[in-house]
Amino acid sequence: MWDKREKKHIGKHDLHPESLMMSYGYQPEWSEGAVKPPIFQTSTFVFNTAEEGKAFFEIAYGLREKKGDETLGLIYSRLNNPGLEILEDRLTIYDGAEAAAAFESGMAAITTAVFTFLRPGQVVAFSEPIYGGTEYLFHEILPSFGVETVPFPAWEGREGLESVLDEAKGRRDRLAMIFIETPANPTNHLVDIRDCAEVARASARDDRKVLVAVDNTFLGPLWQHPLQHGADLVLYSLTKFVGGHSDLIAGACLGSEDLIAQVKATRTFFGSMAGPWTGWLLLRSLETLKLRMTSQMKNARYVADFLADHPKVERVHYLGHLGEGDPGFETFHRQCVGPGSMISFEVTGGEEAAFRVLNTLKLVKLAVSLGGTESLAEHPGTMTHSDIPPHERERMGITESMIRLSVGLEHPEDLIADLSQALDEA
Ligand SMILES: *Cc1c(COP(=O)(O)O)cnc(C)c1O
């Protein structure tokens, strides 16, 4: 039997996450000595005996407790698949999570997790601005299932959260989840995870847990580890940095064995698990994750410094430029390992100027999404965040002149040359 704990160190020496990305969760002797796990492109698995099939189903459907070191055998690829299990084991490493569940998209991870833990009559508080798909889920879908969804402004932090909870009588007594995205997209506002965890613990009762769920897509899993700051669930669009090559859509939910077992049970019936091919691409991506995210972060610093000095740039929103006294400075230093590679900046001349810059860029591609090897730029006001009413958008700090930039792996001098010629047209 493969012992997870044994494989994380050599003698007394703990192995680093980047070393584990090539080997953890897989042994070549399982697959004819293949150094890489093959793609198990199969819908179903043959049982050795009827008794074995019966035992696997008893565990899969929770009909009885596991005996000793008994594990769930392979049944059917909607429930489990070797590639998916290896991927999930590796996904736990950087975040220090007990367990992970992988999905065919970030939205599949978010919706499956939310429907696992929320019930009619309960309340979920969520930070704004938040990813458009999540916003739609909270504004349009959950209320139709009787879940009350309450936004709070990311930039008001704990006070904002406490005040929306106190706004309506009995709201705090029905609170079941605090869902945050930090840093917020596209403004890079930070939400303090520790504060949210304290509010959650204080609002919980013996018969009602309050979970803190963090969408960690922007900084994770390298530069922010929400579980260490009191979060219960970590959510990812693996489409972004983890996939990292803009060639797949996937997601994940991480947390304790107990919580992830519940999420996986829902996933079995929603059918939202990642498929074998997606899982295999992600295993390949994970091997270079640290290299990519580190280079992207270095490049972003050069680019952000260039933008901050440029006469046609009014404001740069970049975590690496937070100074003492700035809102978020203290949270950043306690909560984040690095500033990542997402930058938003505002040009002089409003939407027209921003569009001219976007239309003039040559190396940087004009596209939504982020975290890939190539740099991407977009206009949040008319693209990713266009469904937010204009006055709300302004209140969140998403202005007409704002451009969001995901910095890739190109040479920083080339990126700066491209931005420089484009800003000349602003
Ligand atoms: C892209 C994204 C999502 C949704 O992920 P998909 O993989 O597109 O379903 C969720 N949250 C954040 C922060 C994102 O950037």
Classified as helix, coil or strand, 252 is: strand
Ligand 1 centre distance from Cα of residue 28 (Å): 33
372 lines ligand 1 (CB under 6 A): no
What's the whole-model pTM score? 0.96
* Ranges of each domain in the chain: 81-286, 289-423
Tens digits of residue pLDDT in 21-47:
999 999 999 999 999 999 999 999 999
Least confident of 1-15, 202-216, 354-368: 1-15
Q: Is 107 in the pocket of ligand 1 (CB under 6 A)?
A: yes
Q: What mean pLDDT is predicted for residues 86-113?
A: 98
Phi, psi of 171 (to 5 degrees): -60, -45
Q: Grade residue 398 by pLDDT with cuts at 50, 70 and 90.
A: very high
Residues 212-231, mean pLDDT to the nearest whole number: 98
Query: How much is the average pLDDT of 352-380?
Result: 97
Residue nearest to atom 2 of ligand 1 (CA): 237
Task: Give the pLDDT confidence score for residue 1 in this predicted structure.
Answer: 47
Q: What is the pLDDT of residue 371?
A: 97
Do 349 and 313 contact (CB within 8 A), yes or no? no
314 in Cβ contact with 346 (< 8 Å): yes
Note whether 81-286 and 289-423 share their fold: no
426: pLDDT confidence band, cut at 50, 70 and 90? confident
Among the four given CATH numbers 3.30.70.270, 3.20.20.70, 3.90.1150.10, 3.90.1170.50, the one describing domain 289-423: 3.90.1150.10
**What are the tens digits of pLDDT across the range 58-92?**
988 888 888 888 888 999 999 999 999 999 999 99
Q: What average pLDDT does range 247-266 have in this prediction?
A: 97
The whole-number pLDDT of residue 5 equals 56
Quick: pLDDT tens for 294-345. Answer: 999 999 999 999 999 999 999 999 999 999 999 899 999 999 999 999 999 9
Range 220-235 average pLDDT: 97
CA angle 130, 136, 141 (to 5 degrees): 135
Burial class (CB in 10 A: 0-12, 13-18, 19+), 214: buried
What CA–CA distances, in Å, run from 346 to 88, 151, 177, 267, 380? 39, 26, 34, 41, 11
Residue 215 near ligand 1, beta carbon < 6 Å: yes
pLDDT at 6: 62
Q: Where residue 347 falls among pLDDT bands split at 50, 70, 90?
A: very high
Q: Please state which of the four CATH numbers 3.40.50.720, 3.90.1640.10, 3.40.640.10, 2.60.40.1080 is assigned to the domain occupying 81-286.
A: 3.40.640.10
Determine the pLDDT at residue 69: 82
> What is the Cα–Cα distance from 139 to 136, expressed in whole angstroms?
5
- What pLDDT is recorded for position 3? 63
Which amino acid makes up residue 277?
Answer: W
Ligand 1 mean position, distance from CA 190 (Å): 17
Say if residue 230's pLDDT is above 50.
Answer: yes
Q: Which atom of ligand 1 is nearest to the CA of 238?
A: 7
- Report CA(237)–ligand 1 centroid distance (Å): 4
Judge if the beta carbon of residue 182 lies within 6 A of ligand 1.
no
State the distance from the centre of ligand 1 to the C-alpha of 329, rounded, in angstroms: 25
Ligand 1 and 397: CB distance under 6 A: no
Say if ligand 1 is within 6 A of residue 106 CB: yes
Q: Is 283 helix (H, G, I), strand (E, B) or coil?
A: helix
Asked whether the beta carbons of 24 and 91 are under 8 A apart, the reply is no
Ligand 1 atom 11, closest CA: 131
Checking if the pLDDT of 242 tops 60, the result is: yes
Cα torsion angle, 105, 110, 111, 112, sign? positive
105, 107, 180, best to mutate for ligand 1 pocket (most atoms within 8 Å of CB): 107
Q: Is the CB of 400 under 6 A from ligand 1?
A: no
- What integer is the mean pLDDT of 147-166? 95
